[in-house]
Chains A and B, each alone.
Chain A
Amino acid sequence: MADLWLQFLLTIDATLRVATPLILCAMAGIFSEKSGIIDISLEGKMLMSAFAAAAVATLTSSALAGLVTAIGVSVLLGLLHGLASITLRGNQVISGLAINILASGLTVTIGIAMFKQGGQTPNLSRAERFRPIELPFAEQIGNLPLIGPIYREVISGHNILVWVALAAVLFTAFILTRTRFGLRLRAVGEKPEALDSAGVSVAKTRYLALIVAGVLCGMAGAYLSTAHGSGFVREMTAGKGYIALAAMIFGKWQPRGALLACLLFGFLEAVASRLQGVDVPLIGEAPVDLILALPYLLTVILLAGFVGKAMPPRAIGEPYVKER
């Protein structure tokens, strides 16, 4: 029984680790989309930042330097998306898609040029990564029956970026509902003319939103390669950016809802990997591929309106133009 409990806790622990990049990207998506910009380039930004973080960490032996670079790269990509969507009023879906494809190509191309390892970066040592933070008395408390392992496994032992991700949720909620910037951001996604006729720049507000989104995606990418993993591997994001997008929609563009969706999707992935090769009663070998497809299926079911309505910001996807 205790063993089952431990297994369960380890799965929860894994959930948090898997969900961290999803949470960061989902919050990024909320900032963009609430301001009216469709952003399907979460995947590309995360991939590019993962590469940047790993490459710089390798060169400088500092995970922090990697993180800062990753954020910078992601913000640049976000500004590129902004240039296309806001200033040039181009198609936002296509711009996002282009960035994703670009990132796939550019990361490997530069990776091979720099490290000649087929697109990967060299393995990072423990010192060059973000290390798990053991909370005080983890071992001792961990020996307490039942609740002890919760402290030792689930709460202690995560690296800083996991906590940053959870803080990002609070940050997002606070900004959106309690600050002036948040009010303007929400307005610009619903009715940009209202903000424009109030004398506030629509473009500037949207660019700022994209910059914040860039920072969050940068952290997600850095986490993947220098905290969760030990280096960059080609296509390492493997669709996580799209799952984050799905989680944001599933969470109805609200920070709390998106957090829950990310945890759910993270849980599904954690369960799937633990069930790999395991025989499940009645079904036989666990259909891991199908479990991994559940986040996508659930999002489609939500979008089909079977689990309530998902209403995006009213003005989303429409380049803002002053009407004649």
Chain B
Amino acid sequence: MSAPPALPRWADVGLIPLINVLAALIVSGVVVTIIGENPFEAMMVMIKGAFVYKGSLGYTLYYATNFIFTGLAVAVAFHAMLFNIGGEGQAYLGGLGAGLVCLMFDSMLPALVLIPLAIMASAGFGAIWGAIPGYLQAKRGSHIVITTIMFNFLAASIMVWLLAGRLKAPGQMSPETRSFSPNAELPFIHDIANALGMEMARSPLNLSFVVALLACVGVWILIWRSRLGYAIRATGHSAGAAQYAGIPVSTIIIITMAISGGLAGMMAINEILGVQHRTILGFTSGYGFTGIAVALMGRNHPVGIVLASLLFGALYQGGAELDFEFSTITREMVLLIQGLIILFSGGLAYMFNRPLAHFLGFLLTPRHAGGGRRG
């Protein structure tokens, strides 16, 4: 049998991701038990930390914003069957782009011009950092997985060199730029809410969350309703068919990677314009890789990605709470859970398909004799 057992679509899209998360949580629970803590207690702390405490939902959504961007990036590339592992580097360079625009123009331009410009710059820099591996794959046959991994390291080196060198704020020791002026800041949601008369706890959640949601809509329209999206999906499913159809496969690969890189680059606006208000070292902190998990769980569809981003946002925020409340558990626990989720939903992907298919078959097939023969 060559294909994994067929599951009804709702099970494949809805149930399996849930089962994967459950499996990951169970294994993590075992690890927690081994190190001597109560996994159920840990779970409660995580849930409260993510949703219940004051400001926690805001934090969760703030994290989710990052994942939506990086998740969309991976998903778009995946529709062309391209593995963009370079979200980290693309986001990092996005931060460079936004930073440069703000550093150069924040005293000259009003917020309404400056911020869109910075957003475009972050997308643009990310797009370039994605398009180069895309070009190398399309025109020179270099495997995109390896080149994007290399480009992550190259981006890190460049950023360290710049932030400790030419871009460093004068008179400071830490490798980061000076703070931007207030008109380069994306407003916090809690500030907007308070201005509108609503009570809302402080959190880093800012307007970039809205941009992320708009990006979701945009990606959906692009992939499933546009001619470019058709060309991207055709290329992803069958390069031979795309070629036959006169679709310029190389160009599509490069364009797709540019869009993907641009989306990853936009992750920077959350951190740089929304929270830090300056470009700092390492602000991507693994979010690029989480984007891969999010895209996998979300089945490369914007709706799934939003849901998966919420899950991971909750994990990160809950993980911070875990770190705070338990002396023996740190944020690395979240890395463990994340790794397990990626493992179950990507590597061990078909582990649960067969048992589930059998189970559903048992549950759903009416019992009568002679089922299954071809007429």
A contacts B directly in the complex (CB < 8 Å)? yes
Q: Which of A89, A109, A249 contacts B336 (CB 8 A)?
A: A109
Bound form: Cα–Cα A246–B334 in Å: 28
* A79 CB to nearest B CB, Å: 13
Residues of A within 8 A of B150 (CB): 242, 246, 296-297, 299-300
A108 on interface, CB distance cutoff 8 Å? yes
Residues of A within 8 A of B2 (CB): 321-324
Number of A-B contacts (CB under 8 A): 158
With most chain A CB atoms within 10 A of its CB, the pick from B85, B164, B330 is B330
Q: Spot the interface stretch: A129-137, A214-222, A287-295.
A: A287-295
B289 on interface, CB distance cutoff 8 Å? yes
Residues of A77-132 at the interface with B, using a CB-CB cut-off of 8 Å, are: 80-81, 83-85, 88-106, 108-110, 112-113, 116, 119
Pair A105/B333 contact, Cβ less than 8 Å: yes
- Known A94-B296, A246-B146, A324-B2; judge A109-B346 contact (CB<8 A): no
Residues of B within 8 A of A102 (CB): 335-336, 339-340, 343
B154 on interface, CB distance cutoff 8 Å? yes
Pair A105/B143 contact, Cβ less than 8 Å: no
Pair B136/A300 contact, Cβ less than 8 Å: yes
Q: Spot the interface stretch: B176-184, B265-273, B347-355.
A: B347-355
Pair B347/A95 contact, Cβ less than 8 Å: yes
A305 on interface, CB distance cutoff 8 Å? yes
Residues of A within 8 A of B43 (CB): none
* A94 CB to nearest B CB, Å: 3
Residues of A within 8 A of B40 (CB): none
Bound form: Cα–Cα A299–B154 in Å: 11
Residues of A264-305 at the interface with B, using a CB-CB cut-off of 8 Å, are: 287, 289-290, 292-293, 296-297, 299-300, 303-305
Q: Which of B35, B164, B339 contacts A98 (CB 8 A)?
A: B339
- Known A97-B289, A110-B35, A112-B328; judge A303-B143 contact (CB<8 A): yes
Interface of B is mostly: helix
B342 on interface, CB distance cutoff 8 Å? yes
Q: Which of A95, A100, A287, A324 contacts B346 (CB 8 A)?
A: A95
A16 on interface, CB distance cutoff 8 Å? no
Pair B347/A90 contact, Cβ less than 8 Å: yes
Bound form: Cα–Cα A94–B160 in Å: 28
Residues of B within 8 A of A28 (CB): none
* B130 CB to nearest A CB, Å: 14
B258 on interface, CB distance cutoff 8 Å? no
A157 on interface, CB distance cutoff 8 Å? no
B222 on interface, CB distance cutoff 8 Å? no
A308 on interface, CB distance cutoff 8 Å? no
Residues of A within 8 A of B151 (CB): 296, 300
B153 on interface, CB distance cutoff 8 Å? yes
Pair B146/A303 contact, Cβ less than 8 Å: yes
Pair B141/A305 contact, Cβ less than 8 Å: yes
Bound form: Cα–Cα A311–B167 in Å: 40
With most chain A CB atoms within 10 A of its CB, the pick from B328, B339, B347 is B347
Beta-carbon nearest neighbor of B338 in chain A: A101
Mark interface residues in B315-337 (1 if CB within 8 Å of A CB, else 0): 00000000000001110111111
* B340 CB to nearest A CB, Å: 6
- Known A101-B289, A290-B157; judge A303-B136 contact (CB<8 A): yes
Bound form: Cα–Cα A95–B347 in Å: 4
What total of chain B residues lie within 8 Å of the partner, measured CB to CB? 49
* A86 CB to nearest B CB, Å: 11
* B119 CB to nearest A CB, Å: 28
Bound form: Cα–Cα A109–B327 in Å: 11
Residues of A within 8 A of B330 (CB): 108-109, 112, 119
B147 on interface, CB distance cutoff 8 Å? yes
B149 on interface, CB distance cutoff 8 Å? yes
- Known A85-B347, A246-B150, A293-B154; judge A93-B337 contact (CB<8 A): no
Residues of A within 8 A of B349 (CB): 88, 90-91
Q: Which of A113, A300, A303 contacts B328 (CB 8 A)?
A: A113
Bound form: Cα–Cα A101–B34 in Å: 20
* B218 CB to nearest A CB, Å: 26
Bound form: Cα–Cα A246–B149 in Å: 10
Pair B140/A305 contact, Cβ less than 8 Å: yes
Mark interface residues in A223-244 (1 if CB within 8 Å of B CB, else 0): 0000000000010000100100
Beta-carbon nearest neighbor of A239 in chain B: B153
Bound form: Cα–Cα A300–B147 in Å: 6
Residues of B158-203 at the interface with A, using a CB-CB cut-off of 8 Å, are: 158, 160-161, 164
Pair A296/B153 contact, Cβ less than 8 Å: yes
A40 on interface, CB distance cutoff 8 Å? yes
Residues of A163-191 at the interface with B, using a CB-CB cut-off of 8 Å, are: none
* A318 CB to nearest B CB, Å: 12
A312 on interface, CB distance cutoff 8 Å? yes
- Known A90-B350, A109-B329, A242-B153; judge A101-B141 contact (CB<8 A): no
- Known A91-B349, A109-B35, A300-B150; judge A98-B160 contact (CB<8 A): no
A-B contact pairs, 13 of them (CB 8 A): A40-B145, A40-B149, A81-B347, A94-B347, A100-B339, A104-B339, A106-B336, A110-B31, A242-B153, A245-B149, A289-B161, A296-B154, A323-B2
Give the top 10 A-B pairs by smallest Cβ distance, nearest first.
A95-B347, A102-B339, A94-B346, A105-B335, A105-B336, A113-B35, A84-B347, A101-B339, A293-B157, A303-B142
Given contacts A84-B348, A90-B349, A102-B343, 17 further A-B contacts (CB under 8 A): A90-B346, A90-B347, A91-B346, A95-B347, A98-B346, A100-B339, A104-B332, A109-B329, A112-B332, A234-B332, A242-B153, A245-B149, A289-B164, A296-B151, A300-B154, A303-B136, A303-B146
